[in-house]
Amino acid sequence: MPLDFSLSPQIARLVATTSQFIDQVVLPVDDQFDGDIAAAGGDVLRKRLQDAARQAGVFAVHAPVEFGGLGLGMGECAAIFEAAGYSLFGPLALNIAAPDEGNVHLLAHVATPEQKERFLRPLVNGTVRSAFAMTEPAPGAGSDPALLTTRAERRSSQWTITGCKNFITGADGAAFFIVMARTSGEVGQVGGATMFLVDATAPGVHVGRHLNTMDLSMVGGHCEVRFDGVTVSDDDILGEVDGGFRYAQVRLGPARMTHVMRWLGAATRAHTTAAEYVAERQAFGGRLGDLGMVQQMLADNEIDIAATRALLQRACWELDQGSRAAHATSAAKTFGAEAIHRVVDRSMQMCGGLGVTQELPIAKIAREVRPFRIYDGPSEVHRWALAKRTVRVAEAKRQ
């Protein structure tokens, strides 16, 4: 059966409109503030850019139609998210940035009708921001979620949540948290976690210091958050009790792919910048772009970009079919994160001294994409998971 890689007329129009919007509205601000969202105005800028994106017709394209989005599937979103990612502020402007984009997906699939009205609708509208609180300080949950230490204890008809989280993206200024807490079992045991919807103004919620990571483009930072005896009701449970890890998979696979989409856009900008530079720069008796070593870097960039898109497309297809796509998303995330890093690094090398300055956008892109090899699961953890699944398949064939 032949494969059709063409974009539908609707998606092609949205990609073109997004690219135009990014070039004309978002990139000037991004470049003026070197991709530092706090310096650019934080939530004030977010609201202004989102109003402009709404007027341009490219706002919240992934969200359910009944809540104000366009209801696009993963495969349909890929090219649009990539076009938005050409600017570090682009995803924020379109309301498709992490963690809100992943939380929209999770709420749309798991939340009750009442929870959707209370949490999903304002999140899609851009009225509020959110955060996903799972990661904890060592020895708590990180790459190994089974180490979850935050606990929720039932007392009559209410639950009391106690625990510490860190690296919580967007926590500063978030209106609510999706909190992963242990409701059964012991630390180190798989399962026994539940997701709770927690209002940021609830007594006992404390957003602490920012962990000053090298990336600067995510509004609300990456923060320490403490839950000191926070009280919630059964109505605040997202999904079923003890089903938290299962629901996390609803969010994590798609969220990893949308990360790849967005950062692929940023890497494409770095590559385009380098290609334009070497096409003009004269050295050693000719253009840099005519030197064999430079041509190899350009070609390798093209290969890495094309291969990332191909793996991404396969993973998105599986997700759109209703599969967990665990193998495909791990492969695409691992390869994509490393390929994106290579593309940006080569682009910096081709531009020489200018590549490490604010004169070109490559240095700030390098700063932003490097953490992606750690965020949403380090490459090593995904390789471990891929290998374990491969061995299980081989064992099953022998039986």
* Whole-number Å distance between alpha carbons of 197 and 184: 18
* Whole-number Å distance between alpha carbons of 26 and 3: 34
Q: Are 357 and 350 in contact (CB under 8 A)?
A: no
Q: Are residues 90 and 143 in the same domain?
A: no
Q: Are residues 238 and 255 in the same domain?
A: no
Q: Are 22 and 84 in contact (CB under 8 A)?
A: yes
Residue 75 belongs to domain with CATH number: 1.10.540.10
Q: Are 214 and 369 in contact (CB under 8 A)?
A: no
Q: Looking at the chain, which runs of residues are DSSP E strands?
A: 130-133, 151-155, 158-169, 176-182, 193-199, 205-210, 222-233, 237-238, 282-283, 286-287
Distances (CA, A) of 67 to 84, 113, 162, 239, 347: 21, 12, 32, 20, 40
Query: How many domains does the structure of the chain reveal?
Result: 3
* Whole-number Å distance between alpha carbons of 136 and 202: 20
Q: Are residues 390 and 256 in the same domain?
A: yes
The verdict on residue 4 lying in a domain is no
CA-CA-CA-CA torsion for 104, 105, 111, 113, nearest 10 degrees?
Answer: 70
Q: What is the pLDDT of residues 324-335, one digit of tens each?
A: 999 999 999 999
The verdict on residue 117 lying in a domain is no
Q: Are 37 and 91 in contact (CB under 8 A)?
A: no
The strand pairing partners of 231, in sequence order, are 160
Instruction: Tell which of 242, 275, 292 closes a domain.
Output: 242
The verdict on residue 231 lying in a domain is yes
Nearest Cα residue to 338 out of 387, 383, 309, 304: 304
Q: Helices 379-398 and 326-350, interaxial angle, to 10°?
A: 140
Q: Are 261 and 81 in contact (CB under 8 A)?
A: yes
* Whole-number Å distance between alpha carbons of 115 and 199: 12
Model-wide pTM > 0.75? yes
* Whole-number Å distance between alpha carbons of 34 and 399: 57
What residues make up the domain containing 379?
251-398
Element of type H or E holding 15: helix 9-21
Instruction: Tell which of 192, 211, 242 closes a domain.
Output: 242
Instruction: Tell which of 97, 113, 144 closes a domain.
Output: 97
Sort 354 into a burial class: Cβ within 10 Å, 0-12 / 13-18 / 19+: middle
Q: What is the pLDDT of residues 198-210, one digit of tens each?
A: 999 999 999 999 9
Q: Are residues 237 and 255 in the same domain?
A: no
Q: What is the pLDDT of residue 155?
A: 87
The verdict on residue 111 lying in a domain is no
Q: Are residues 269 and 391 in the same domain?
A: yes
Q: What is the pLDDT of residue 1?
A: 56
CA Rg, the chain, in Å?
21
Residues in the chain where the model's pLDDT stays below 50: none
Nearest Cα residue to 368 out of 341, 336, 338: 341
Q: What is the pLDDT of residue 190?
A: 85
Phi, psi of 325, deg, nearest 5: 55, 35
| DSSP reduced 3-state for 205 | strand
